Chain A
């Protein structure tokens, strides 16, 4: 009986770990990354995930003409600087933050509406020893009301 209880307890703890980690991501997105959008208005969408060093994520979104946007991509302290690139439908890389000191934000506007891809990666830290770090990465969008 004791073993059954222990087994159930362990399963419950293990099952709750991903939920707890995601909940941390929500707090991180809301309290840390959203601030980066100011003075732009957060659109309200939520995109965040736990990423480990070496992993990548992709996001697809249509951006509309005559609107000023800010993209904020933030990683928690446990992670190295997050690298992101903006890629158009012709597979051209039109922006990379690697050549901008790994800036967390990018402000832009478009003359015509475009579907763009954001390619995000947590670069491998060559000097780091031990287990690769994991942490929250949040992707947030802001716009300016005309």
Chain B
């Protein structure tokens, strides 16, 4: 259901009263109010009543619902390229540069869709190379990501000083990760703040699919039992729900609608994978103040299903980079 909301702030109220009282005829004032109401409706796509996890908000404890207004901002968060690369590395994977999207392809991307998807893809490749200390490759992929961001008109997300900082700190892993996270945040915040959430969602999905592509290829023909990387891939079933929600929220954009259709191909395969998780018990270490969420989970995937998933991801990713 479409909900409308005008953001009530001291700034816009002051503006409204000044302009309406001093500058305009009453008829014009009505037009402006209508304009604002319509603008509020049109830009409010991400607001909806929460019914996720099969959760009816009425079923959450009454305490949680205290003082909650009906207007709600909903965010869907996918693993960022940096987190994706970290998950692959910590699963014990090896580096393989052949899996990255060649930087020579940058000139092929001339549409908003291809640039957005490949901004995500190149940022994941950049993160992957950086975490494995591939310095020259990191610089090449930062330039490729810059090319995509520039093509999308994302101002100053990645500029020449970013590349210089990367070069100057090429042996400082923490600084490199900070630069990558900052550039990614600059891109996504620019798109979000300039009313281009469809492009922002495609950047995220491009990066997520690239991570899945790299991970499935790194598993290759290894046995899938007790394979940490396979467990990470199976975990993506949980994020896949969020991918679908994110795209669904932006499906009035034709590119996103098409992408949703394409990505639904792998839903059929993810549906064959099962993850059963037990009850979570939260235990906080008083010394470190870190809470451990204790729970058991059991996954079920066969080599055939894994192969099917790998093939579908390969096709999807090939469509993205071609």
Interchain CB contact under 8 A, B11 and A21: yes
> B7 to chain A: which residues have CB within 8 Å?
18, 21, 50, 52, 134
> A25 to chain B: which residues have CB within 8 Å?
193
Interchain CB contact under 8 A, A110 and B67: no
Q: Taking CB as reference atom, which chain B residue is nearest A10?
A: B19
- Digitize B290-306: 1 where CB-to-A-CB distance is under 8 Å, 0 elsewhere: 11111111000000000
Q: A29-B189, A85-B64, A123-B67 are in contact. Are A146 and B290 (CB under 8 A)?
A: no
Interchain CB contact under 8 A, A89 and B277: yes
Q: A62-B242, A64-B87, A107-B289 are in contact. Are A11 and B189 (CB under 8 A)?
A: no
Q: How far is the CA of A51 from the CA of B69 in the complex (A)?
A: 11
Q: Which of B101-109, B134-142, B173-181 touches A?
A: B173-181
Q: Which of B78-86, B213-221, B254-262 touches A?
A: B78-86
Interchain CB contact under 8 A, B75 and A26: no
- B290 CB, nearest partner CB in chain A, Å: 5
Interchain CB contact under 8 A, B238 and A114: yes
Interchain CB contact under 8 A, A110 and B293: yes
Whether a CB of chain B sits under 8 angstroms from the CB of A19 is yes
Whether a CB of chain A sits under 8 angstroms from the CB of B287 is no
Which residues of B in the span 1-51 have a Cβ within 8 Å of any Cβ on A?
7-13, 15-16, 19, 23-25, 28, 32, 35-36, 39, 43, 50
Q: A111-B293, A114-B277 are in contact. Are A145 and B75 (CB under 8 A)?
A: no
Q: Taking CB as reference atom, which chain A residue is nearest B235?
A: A113
Q: How far is the CA of A119 from the CA of B64 in the complex (A)?
A: 8
Closest A-B pairs by Cβ, 3 of them = A44-B184, A112-B297, A44-B181
- Digitize B153-194: 1 where CB-to-A-CB distance is under 8 Å, 0 elsewhere: 000000000000000000001100110111111001100111
Interchain CB contact under 8 A, A117 and B24: no
Whether a CB of chain A sits under 8 angstroms from the CB of B307 is no
Q: How far is the CA of A81 from the CA of B78 in the complex (A)?
A: 27
Q: Taking CB as reference atom, which chain A residue is nearest B184?
A: A44
Q: How far is the CA of A107 from the CA of B68 in the complex (A)?
A: 26
Whether a CB of chain B sits under 8 angstroms from the CB of A60 is yes
Interchain CB contact under 8 A, B60 and A62: no
Q: How far is the CA of A54 from the CA of B66 in the complex (A)?
A: 9
Interchain CB contact under 8 A, A94 and B73: no
Q: A42-B178, A109-B290, A113-B235 are in contact. Are A17 and B12 (CB under 8 A)?
A: yes
Interchain CB contact under 8 A, A124 and B67: yes
Q: How many residues of A contact B (CB 8 A)?
A: 77
A-to-B contact residues, CB < 8 Å? 3, 6-7, 10-11, 13-15, 17-19, 21-23, 25-26, 29-30, 41-52, 54-62, 64-68, 85, 87-95, 106-115, 117, 119, 121, 123-124, 131-132, 134, 139, 141, 143, 145-146
Q: Give the size category of B's interface with A.
A: 35 or more
> B9 to chain A: which residues have CB within 8 Å?
17, 21, 50, 52, 134
**18 chain-A/chain-B pairs, Cβ below 8 angstroms:** A14-B32, A22-B192, A45-B188, A49-B73, A58-B50, A60-B74, A60-B76, A85-B64, A91-B55, A92-B280, A107-B288, A107-B291, A110-B295, A112-B277, A114-B238, A121-B68, A123-B67, A145-B131
Q: How far is the CA of A14 from the CA of B189 in the complex (A)?
A: 21
- A55 CB, nearest partner CB in chain B, Å: 5
Interchain CB contact under 8 A, A55 and B72: yes
Q: Taking CB as reference atom, which chain B residue is nearest A120?
A: B73
Q: A121-B68, A131-B8 are in contact. Are A111 and B82 (CB under 8 A)?
A: no
Other A-B pairs, 17, CB within 8 Å; known A114-B293, A141-B83: A18-B7, A26-B193, A41-B174, A44-B181, A44-B183, A57-B75, A58-B75, A67-B87, A87-B64, A91-B59, A108-B292, A108-B293, A109-B293, A114-B277, A115-B242, A132-B8, A145-B89
Which residues of B in the span 76-118 have a Cβ within 8 Å of any Cβ on A?
76-83, 86-87, 89-90
Interchain CB contact under 8 A, A143 and B75: no
Interchain CB contact under 8 A, B24 and A7: yes
> A43 to chain B: which residues have CB within 8 Å?
79-80, 82-83, 181
Interchain CB contact under 8 A, A62 and B235: yes
Whether a CB of chain A sits under 8 angstroms from the CB of B71 is yes
> A64 to chain B: which residues have CB within 8 Å?
79, 87, 232, 235
> B55 to chain A: which residues have CB within 8 Å?
87, 91, 117
- B93 CB, nearest partner CB in chain A, Å: 13
Q: How far is the CA of A35 from the CA of B180 in the complex (A)?
A: 16
